[in-house]
Amino acid sequence: MITFIIRRLIATIFLLIVVSMIVYAIFFLIPRLAGQNTYQLATQYVGRNPNRSAVLAIEQKLGLNAPLYLQYGRFLKAIVFGTHYNSGTSTTYCPPPCFGYSFKSQQPVWPQMVSDIPVTLSLAIGAAILWLVGGVAIGVLSALRRGTFFDRFSMGIALLGVSLPIFFTGLILLELFSYKWPIFPNVQFVPLTQNPLLWARNLVLPWICLAFLYAALYARLTRAGMLETMSEDYIRTARAKGLVERKVIFKHGLRAALTPIVTIFGMDIGLLLGGAIITEYTFSLHGLGLFTIEAVQNQDLPEILGVTMLAAFFIVIANLVVDILYAVVDPRVRT
Amino acid sequence: MPETLLEVRDLRIQFPTGDGLVKAVDGVSFSLDRGATLGIVGESGSGKSVTSLGIMGLHQGTNAQISGNIRLDGEELVGAPSSRVRELRGSKMAMIFQDPLSALHPYYTVGAQIAEAYLVHNEVGKKVARKHAVDMLGRVGIPQPAARVDDYPHQFSGGMRQRAMIAMALSCDPELLIADEPTTALDVTVQAQILDLIWDLQQEYHSAVIIITHDLGVVAELSDDILVMYAGRMAEYGKAEDVFDRPGHPYTWGLLASMPRIDEARLERLIPIKGTPPSLINVPSGCPFHPRCRYAGLTNGRSQAEVPSLREVEPGHLVACHLTGDQRRIARAEQALGDIEAPAVPTTQGDV
């Protein structure tokens, strides 16, 4: 088991390096292949009305003239250890993880992202717990009461949940529960450390909105998984032992049905940023999602690069966690 | 204590389906003494497995309809509360299944699964249950049981998995053990070991055993009584020697002729029974075997029209067939002579 984890960790580090190469290629190599020279690349950093000396200074500062492998090396080094930008006259320090300077604010990208992370994390973790517990519970009940009204009703709702886009359910929720019946008025982010109650109350609607989509999917997956496992031979064996039905269902049935859910859950957590973008936008929560939208609107390449790297990092880590969790739940994988 | 442990009377198990009523078990009766062995033989779909599931109460939860009587040690199980049947399951009656790999849970260790069976019916701690699991694994012949107890089923070989299943079934010292095709999924070399093991443990635990199989060779070694089933009904029932030496039903003759033998020279090919087992929704009229029976023409249409009742051809030997005693003797003689259509029915006496 320990060697398994170590092997996975090493593989993950390699994966992260490959990811950084691809991101680097997208942001620095492809513009060049498309015919942009380093001068034009540097121009983007200068802002409006660039003059030649300022552009050359930036070119020097960012080292855009250096050979590509050297630039990639610096890019990687900046992310891991931070870097000093030397423009000839002055030196500025960009602390790790350094994704460069924002075009717009002329500040390092990372500190700007850091303040947005708790918002997205609060949204994501709350929604994930909600959809995992809710989706699995509904799925199990549906499977056990297959063909009943409950089954049909919840699967119908699930179909609705999968079909409805977040910005639609989000606006409906806001209209109903924030304006018409103001149970959750003034949805805005309050840090958990500042006021836990208000933190939770203000996040209820975004949680429900984001979780609805995923819960629907998980309910259907769990239902299908449970129906399959409950007809397995080992379930008959468990009954033949004289186990009470509750144990047969949860200890033997759900345990096996949950394994694929764990995999999908890990992947979904990694990919959650996509869902968070729309939810944050709908509820005007300033998290990484809104940060991304603004970065794209401003064509702020370093900011987009920062978000991309962070998202890729999350997905890779989620993959690692899934692999390890999978080995924990399924002994056949442990080799 | 009564001598008879299990008494099954006119057992019927039916499943309503979209296509019609499936009569999986249709009027089966037998009795089993303590420590004795019954072999239930038949092709796939003959109702032999459903019979055993019905005894165990494992048909519950499905939409099966069950009627008749199942008396275990004098206690009626048909219509008994499911909680009571659950209590008996695993403690007084236990079952081992055909494919031990799929019958064992892949995510729990073998030891944990055996201990679980023990814990259900015994008020003991986990340590005691685990020790019992090691003990049981040793008894069923798993080498180094203390080490293997923490293995997962996929780390066991096929034969060892079936041994583990047997250990699990016997963990609460059941009075009745039902083995549903216990050797079908195993290598031929392992089959004999598993049968020996069941035999040895039966002597040790004095359990009554029902062995369900499509292989007459399996039951030949072990059984006191044999029940041949066809299309959910009893075709022949009697002492093992009687059924093997003087089989009365043409279906039994077919089963015997299709069985490979090593104690006879291979003069002829094995004779398969023509056709396929009937659908249990549209069971053929009259004798369900008549479309595949070579001798159905001898009964003046009774085989097609009338369901044959069980008749005693000799004391304790029941056969459901319309052939008269003379016709049966002539038909058997034809087979024994080895005519072109039905040669090489075993005629030797003694163990088969």
Whether residue A234 lies within 8 A of chain B, CB to CB, comes out as: yes
How far, CA to CA in Å, does B279 sit from each of B19, B28, B344? 11, 18, 29
- pLDDT for residue B235 is more than 50: yes
Q: How far is CA B254 from the centre of its chain?
A: 18
Query: Average pLDDT, stretch A89-98?
Result: 79
* Nearest CB partner across the interface for A331, out of B58, B89, B107: B107
Torsion, Cα B166 B172 B177 B181, to 10 degrees, reads: -30
CA-angle at B302, arms to B299 and B304, nearest 5°: 110
The residue whose two tokens read 């109903």 is A176
The CA distance from B57 to A227, in Å, is 21
The pLDDT tens digits for B119-138 are 999 999 999 999 999 999 99
Query: Which range is least confidently modeled, A95-104, B204-213, B233-242?
Result: A95-104
Q: Is A162 helix (H, G, I), strand (E, B) or coil?
A: helix
- pLDDT for residue A104 is more than 70: yes
Question: Counting Cβ atoms within 10 Å, is residue B60 exposed (0-12), middle (13-18) or buried (19+)?
Answer: middle
The residue whose two tokens read 């064509």 is A299
Beta bridge mates, A94: A83
Say what the pLDDT of residue B345 is.
43
Higher pLDDT, B338 or A282: A282
Confidence of residue B228 (pLDDT cuts 50, 70, 90): very high
Say what the pLDDT of residue B25 is.
92
Higher pLDDT, B92 or A95: B92
The pLDDT tens digits for A294-320 are 999 988 888 888 998 888 888 888 888
The CA distance from A261 to A245, in Å, is 22
The CA distance from A181 to A199, in Å, is 20
Report the range out of A206-210, A266-270, B321-325 with the highest average pLDDT: A206-210
Q: How far is CA A63 from the centre of its chain?
A: 32
Minimum CA–CA partner of A328 in chain B: B107
Torsion, Cα A8 A13 A19 A23, to 10 degrees, reads: 160
The CA distance from B276 to B133, in Å, is 43
Q: Is B28 helix (H, G, I), strand (E, B) or coil?
A: strand
The CA distance from B92 to B90, in Å, is 6
Query: Average pLDDT, stretch B236-242?
Result: 93
On chain A, the residues whose CB falls within 8 A of the CB of B61 are 245
Say what the pLDDT of residue B257 is.
80
Say what the pLDDT of residue B337 is.
62
Dihedral of CA B151/B153/B154/B155: which sign?
Answer: positive
Nearest Cα of chain A lies from the Cα of B278 at a distance, in angstroms, of 25
Minimum CA–CA partner of A334 in chain B: B152
The structure's pTM equals: 0.81
Say what the pLDDT of residue B346 is.
42
Say what the pLDDT of residue B348 is.
41
The CA distance from A140 to B300, in Å, is 58
On chain A, the residues whose CB falls within 8 A of the CB of B152 are 331-332
On chain B, the residues whose CB falls within 8 A of the CB of A234 are 102-106
The closest alpha carbon to A227, from A124, A322, A151, A161, belongs to A151
Put simply, the answer to whether B90 touches A233 (Cβ < 8 Å) is: no
Q: Is B178 helix (H, G, I), strand (E, B) or coil?
A: strand
The pLDDT tens digits for B58-68 are 886 678 899 99
Query: Which range is least confidently modeled, A71-85, A103-117, B250-264, B292-306?
Result: B250-264
- pLDDT for residue B162 is more than 90: yes
For chain B, what is the mean pLDDT?
A: 86
On chain B, the residues whose CB falls within 8 A of the CB of A258 are none
Cβ–Cβ < 8 Å for B77, B71? yes
Helices B158-170 & A233-240 angle (0-180, nearest 10): 30
| Secondary structure in 3-state letters for B83-147 | HHHHHHECCCEEEECCCHHHHCCCCCCHHHHHHHHHHHHCCCCHHHHHHHHHHHHHHCCCCCHHH
Query: Average pLDDT, stretch B200-207?
Result: 89
Structure tokens at B27: 């009027």
Put simply, the answer to whether A236 touches B87 (Cβ < 8 Å) is: no
Strands A91-94 and B317-319: unpaired
How far, CA to CA in Å, does B89 sit from each of A234, B95, B111, B130? 15, 9, 20, 20
Say what the pLDDT of residue B9 is.
95
Q: How many CB atoms lie within 10 A of CB A207?
A: 22
Beta bridge mates, B271: none
Whether residue B78 lies within 8 A of chain A, CB to CB, comes out as: no
Whether residue B110 lies within 8 A of chain A, CB to CB, comes out as: no
The CA distance from A187 to A207, in Å, is 12
Say what the pLDDT of residue A187 is.
80
Minimum CA–CA partner of A257 in chain B: B107
- pLDDT for residue B267 is more than 60: no
Confidence of residue B69 (pLDDT cuts 50, 70, 90): very high
Strands B225-230 and B37-41: parallel
Whether residue A61 lies within 8 A of chain B, CB to CB, comes out as: no
Cβ–Cβ < 8 Å for B96, B183? no
Put simply, the answer to whether B102 touches A234 (Cβ < 8 Å) is: yes
Q: Residue B319 carries which DSSP code?
A: E
Say what the pLDDT of residue B1 is.
55
- pLDDT for residue A62 is more than 60: yes
Say what the pLDDT of residue B296 is.
83
Higher pLDDT, A252 or B186: A252
Say what the pLDDT of residue B303 is.
87
Say what the pLDDT of residue B342 is.
44
Nearest Cα of chain A lies from the Cα of B217 at a distance, in angstroms, of 26
The CA distance from A211 to A219, in Å, is 11
Say what the pLDDT of residue B352 is.
37
Amino acid occupying residue B324: T
Say what the pLDDT of residue B282 is.
83
**B161 Cβ contact partners less than 8 Å away, ≥ 6 residues apart:** B100, B101, B104, B153
Whether residue A241 lies within 8 A of chain B, CB to CB, comes out as: yes
Report the range out of A61-75, B142-156, B255-269 with the highest average pLDDT: B142-156
Query: Which range is least confidently modeled, A55-64, A212-221, B28-37?
Result: A55-64
Confidence of residue B76 (pLDDT cuts 50, 70, 90): very high
Say what the pLDDT of residue B349 is.
41
Say what the pLDDT of residue B286 is.
87
Report the range out of A8-17, B214-223, B249-258 with the highest average pLDDT: A8-17
Say what the pLDDT of residue A213 is.
87
Report the range out of A282-286, B267-271, B339-343 with the highest average pLDDT: A282-286
- pLDDT for residue B191 is more than 70: yes
